[in-house]
Amino acid sequence: MSVPATITRLGAARSRARSERARARTLPQSWPLIALLLLGAALRLSTIGLQSFWYDEAFTPVHVIHPSLIATMKTMAHTENSPPLWYFIIWAWTRLFGIGVVAMRLPSAFAGIALIAVAWGIGSELSGRRAAIAAAALATFNPLFVWYSQEARTYELYALMGGLALLCFLRAEAKPTGRRMAAFALASALALLSHYFAVFLLVPMALWLLRRRDRWRVTVPAIGAVAVVGIALIPLLLSQGGHGTQWIGAWPLASRLEAIPQYYLTGYSGAPLGHGIELLVALPLIVGFLYGLWRGLDAIESRGAWITAALAACGVLIPIIIIAFGFDYLAPRNLIAAMVPVTGLLAVVLASRRAGRAGAALLAAAAIAFLAICIDVDLNPRLQRGDWRGVAAVVRSPAGVVPSAATAGSHTASRAGAPAAAHLLATVHLGSAPLQYYIPSLKPLASQRTILVGEIDEVAYPPLLPTAGKPPLPGFHLLSKHDVNGLVVYRFGTAHPQPLTASRLRYDGLSREAAEVFVAPGSGYRT
């Protein structure tokens, strides 16, 4: 080779090296985390107000939040079934930003975005940068985490605090300094204050830390502090007494167990997609997991996999086991924090060194499948929360008229010539709080109070009774029927208003569920 050619090649090599060093200087090692945080924020914030409030969300601004924090906490203790942290946050937040749908969901969205960074930290502690990227990617696009990032309830905060406790546990376990144990104690206390099910993750973490007697000087005070917080919550737990959890026992256990993996793979509302789609989403995760195990894990990866597998098993199996002792609070959404170690386990195995590019490709396929589910939820009303905002717009419009987007948020005038009689609205229980939220002047009607009624609107979810669409009283006739993205509204009217009590409509609605009866605003009746 000639000297000039050699010089030319050396120059090209030096140029490439300089370019690589320049890219290394301009592109930080954390650039995947930054990119995933931006994608996660876009996914959560861009459609945060798309769906209307459903019952649990609307119940908080309608019944729980008061101008006084003390009054709010007292109401929470008698009407809710969760610890106080989220209610304190949402009370303070609404003092500043109001009770709008977007405003009340923003704390959950911020928690969901922060969970991506926490998942990165968990993956890094478990087995390094590859697992960090994998865990953050799964947390970014997972339909369950995205769903609860757009819900004004405690669940995404619980997932964040549970994940933060896991991260602090891993760091304290590796190097149990006083500062790290204090961080674990704080994160664990916040997790307990977010959801009672945190105890199923924290107890095994505490036992793991206590296994080393030579570390008791720093571990015992920290775990003792968490125990004090847990004990302090017992009076509140007893006061709440499982309020509003009767629906859990009425949900067959087999169906709930089936829903646990379904929630993780296709989200809270993924059931209508069917098992075929669920299996399709699970396929790259299952294949990648088995492939990673087949190729083998190194010592660090194996240890991280065992820790996360043990914690995930405790978080899921203990609530199932205690059902045999009469404590049945197993709702799949209560296991959302247990899905964080599940995510860590998947990340460690799929991103293991020996799994290589095949594992990375399967991980990418799983992330794309997750993203597709999230997009489908945004586009498909049957996968969304019930459209109570749309129902409110219908019942506020003149009967037989479908409101336009421009008029959906405003009150409309009564029909010309309508008698000065009450306009009643009978809805299934899950519609009571949302309709009171979207129609603030809606007032409940006492069961035995008799009033003069000129219009009756009935709202329910399918399946409906065979008598659906038949007038609730002689002299009434069907004015209009509306299908509001799955919710059905029948509107009945009469030219001759009749006396009626709320109890008359309680069980004569569209479904077998007892109806909640309200007096609509502007109907000529004053409660």
Which residue type is seen at 198?
A: A
Evaluate if residue 305 carries a pLDDT over 80.
yes
245 pLDDT band, cuts 50/70/90, is confident
Q: Helices (DSSP H) in 27-153: which residue ranges?
A: 31-45, 55-59, 69-79, 85-97, 101-127, 129-141, 143-149
Give yes or no for residue 155 having a pLDDT over 80: yes
What 3-state DSSP class applies to 492? strand
Integer Cα distance of 499 and 371 in angstroms: 54
Does 525 fall in a domain? no
Structure-model confidence comparison of residues 145 and 472, the more confident one: 145
Can you give the pLDDT at residue 21? 54
Q: Which two tokens stand for residue 99?
A: 């009770």
pLDDT band at 357 (very low <50, low <70, confident <90, very high): very high
The tokens of 460 are what?
Answer: 């329910």
Query: Would you state the pLDDT for residue 385?
Result: 95
CA 12 to chain centre: 54
Phi, psi of 404 (to 5 degrees): -80, 170
The reported pLDDT for the residue numbered 39 is 98
- Residue written as token pair 């009054």: 71
Show which of 328, 354, 382 is a domain's final residue.
382
Of the given ranges (4-8, 235-239, 447-451, 480-484), which has the lowest mean pLDDT?
4-8
Same domain, 318 and 398: no
**Spatial distance between the Cα atoms of 142 and 119, rounded to a whole number of angstroms:** 12
Spatial distance between the Cα atoms of 337 and 112, rounded to a whole number of angstroms: 12
Q: Who wins on pLDDT, 190 or 428? A: 190
The CA-atom distances, in angstroms, between 159 and each of 98, 245, 320 are 25, 20, 19
Q: Is residue 406 within 8 Å of residue 510, measured between CB atoms?
A: no
* Confidence check: pLDDT of 411 > 60: no
Q: Are residues 44 and 160 in the same domain?
A: yes
Number of domains in the chain: 2
pLDDT reported for residue 500: 81
pLDDT (tens digit, 9 = 90+) per residue, 375-406?
Answer: 999 999 999 999 999 999 999 887 644 444 33
Q: What range does the domain containing 157 cover?
A: 30-382
Residues 174-200: what's their mean pLDDT?
96
Q: Is residue 6 over pLDDT 50?
A: no
- Residue 397 pLDDT: 83
Is residue 419 domain-shared with residue 377, that is, in the same domain?
A: no
326 has pLDDT over 50: yes
**Same domain assignment for residues 223 and 311:** yes
DSSP per residue over 64-84, as a string?
Answer: I--SSHHHHHHHHHHH--S-S
Domain co-membership, 413 together with 342: no
The answer to whether residue 347 sits within a structural domain is: yes
- Residue 242 half-sphere exposure, CB side, CA atoms within 13 Å? 11
Task: Identify whether 71 is part of a domain.
Answer: yes
- Confidence at residue 447, expressed as pLDDT on a 0 to 100 scale: 74
> What pLDDT, on the 0 to 100 scale, is given for residue 523?
55
* Residue 437 belongs to a domain: yes
Residues 309 and 407 placed together within one structural domain of the fold: no
Domain closes at, from 334, 367, 382: 382
Q: Is the pLDDT of residue 68 over 60?
A: yes
Q: Which class for 229: exposed (0-12), middle (13-18), buried (19 or more C-beta within 10 A)?
A: middle
pLDDT at residue number 247:
83
What's the CA gap between 214 and 124, in Å, rounded? 26
The DSSP H or E segment spanning 496 is strand 487-501
Average pLDDT of span 85-111: 97
Cα–Cα distance list, 505 to 197, 273, 452, 487 (Å): 39, 35, 14, 19
* Residue 8 lies inside a defined structural domain of this protein: no
Pick from 183-197, 337-351, 399-413, 495-509: least confident: 399-413
As a whole number of angstroms, the distance between CA 89 and CA 240 comes to 19
The region that residue 456 occupies, defined by phi over 0 for left and psi between -120 and 50 for alpha, beta otherwise, is beta
pLDDT of residue 416 exceeding 60: no
182 and 130, same structural domain? yes
Answer yes or no: do 51 and 101 share one domain: yes
Q: What is the pLDDT of residue 507?
A: 63
pLDDT band at residue 515 using 50, 70 and 90 as cut-offs: confident
Q: Say yes or no: 168 and 52 in one domain.
A: yes
Mean pLDDT of the chain: 89
Mean per-residue pLDDT, 137-158:
98
- The domain boundary, picked from 382, 409, 435, lies at 382
Q: Give rounded-to-5 percent helix, strand, coil for the chain.
A: 65, 10, 25
Residues 503, 399: one domain?
yes
Q: Quick check: is 204 in a domain?
A: yes
Q: How far is CA 286 from CA 160, 194, 293, 302, 366, in A?
A: 25, 31, 11, 18, 10
pLDDT the model gives residue 420: 62
pLDDT at 126: 97
> Residue 54 corresponds to which tokens in the numbers above?
């459903």
- Per-residue pLDDT tens for 23-63? 555 667 889 999 999 999 999 999 999 999 999 999 999 99
Tens of pLDDT along 460-469? 888 888 888 8
Are 327 and 426 part of one and the same domain?
A: no
| Residue 475 counted as domain residue | yes
End-to-end CA distance of the chain: 100
Q: Which two three-digit tokens encode residue 216?
A: 């008791």
> Binning pLDDT at 50, 70 and 90, where does residue 12 land?
low
Cα 298 from chain centroid?
A: 35
Q: Is residue 19 part of a domain?
A: no
Q: Are residues 320 and 262 in the same domain?
A: yes
Burial of 283 (0-12, 13-18, 19+ CB in 10 A): middle
Residue 14 has pLDDT above 70, yes or no: no
Distance CA 337, CA 157 (A): 9
Regarding predicted confidence, which is higher, 400 or 199? 199
